[in-house]
Chains A and B, each alone.
Chain A
Amino acid sequence: MIIGNITQGNEVKAKIHVTLKPGVLDPQGKAVQHALGSLGFSGVENVRQGKFIELELSETDENKARADLEEMCKQLLANTVIENYSIEIA
């Protein structure tokens, strides 16, 4: 018997990448690049670090979900002063 979490399987799942805008310095990325170099990976020419966020929505309409996700990114998930975001719906 399955209790709770009964779904129809069409709910939108989204993957959001938040990355620093080009031109914004990324000291953490630089530190990671340096650490990779000291491990012997000499060919790493640039590292930019970001965030990956997975969301499961109750919404089944992909267009509505995308509009909501845009707002979520603008209002909270990304700081658009320094960050870009991209939304991928699975």
Chain B
Amino acid sequence: MKACVIVFPGSNCDRDLQIALRDAMGSEPDMVWHGDSTFGDVDLIAVPGGFSYGDYLRAGAMAAKSPVMREITRRAEKGVPVLGVCNGFQILTESGLLPGALMRNADLKYVCKDVHLKVEATDTPFTQGYENESVLRIPIAHHDGNYFANDDVLNELEDSNRIAFRYTDVRGERSPQANPNGSRHDIAGIVNKARNVLGMMPHPERLADPSLGGSDGKAMFTGLVEALS
């Protein structure tokens, strides 16, 4: 399996994703600079977290228009899996690969802490390594993670089982207290219609090794390797 990690000016989780992928794949992912309009054939494209282009205009807005995103959109439409984490999720919504938008957190604060997520769709290459309805502990670190979509889009996401992760408490129960940013329907991550593009605000790459304090994120990467090798 071959993977690449996209690097924008202001990305800061690109190395973390690189390490998580390297550990799962046993080989080195390519690091692709944002100005590159093409890159080698890969089985997985990872769009990392950070503050691409300083969050100018809106988080992810500038990166969504970069040369590399045109190529990513082209490949996503051909079925290549694309994973967007945190700022990567914001970039994927801004580029139109995923529906909705990530708005300023409802309490206006930057939130950096571990949260619990329930896995609600395991029929994707990103989540097939998890048991359905399992509860994970994964860190979040964002200011603009408040998922918004209109009622029609939310209904479509619900009806087609495209909400991959939802914020819950440790027992897997949904509540306003367990929702860290005001996201509608407690959405932490979604997939596109074809289920080959996933965006999520939490950072699985930050808890993918016991030495980091937990490994609930690891099954995403080992599952991807299993699905795509």
Residues of A at the B interface (CB closer than 8 Å) are 24-25, 27-28, 31, 75-77, 79, 81-82
Measured in the bound complex, the distance between the Cα atoms of B106 and A31 in whole Å is 10
A-B contact pairs, 21 of them (CB 8 A): A24-B103, A24-B148, A25-B103, A25-B182, A27-B104, A27-B106, A27-B107, A27-B146, A27-B182, A28-B104, A28-B108, A76-B61, A76-B65, A79-B58, A79-B61, A79-B101, A81-B93, A81-B101, A81-B150, A82-B101, A82-B103
Residues of A within 8 A of B150 (CB): 81
Q: Is B172 an interface residue (CB 8 A)?
A: no
Residues of B within 8 A of A25 (CB): 103, 106, 148, 182
B contact residues, range: 20 to 34
**Majority DSSP secondary structure for residues of B touching A:** loop
Q: Which of B93, B94, B108 contacts A27 (CB 8 A)?
A: B108
Measured in the bound complex, the distance between the Cα atoms of B218 and A89 in whole Å is 53
Q: Could you tell me if B57 and A81 are in contact, using CB atoms closer than 8 angstroms? A: no
Residues of A within 8 A of B93 (CB): 81
Residues of B at the A interface (CB closer than 8 Å) are 57-58, 61, 65, 93-94, 99-101, 103-108, 146, 148-150, 182
A76/B148 contact (C-beta < 8 A), A25-B106, A27-B104, A28-B108 known: no
| Chain B min CB distance to A31 (Å) | 6
Measured in the bound complex, the distance between the Cα atoms of B149 and A44 in whole Å is 28
Residues of A within 8 A of B105 (CB): 27
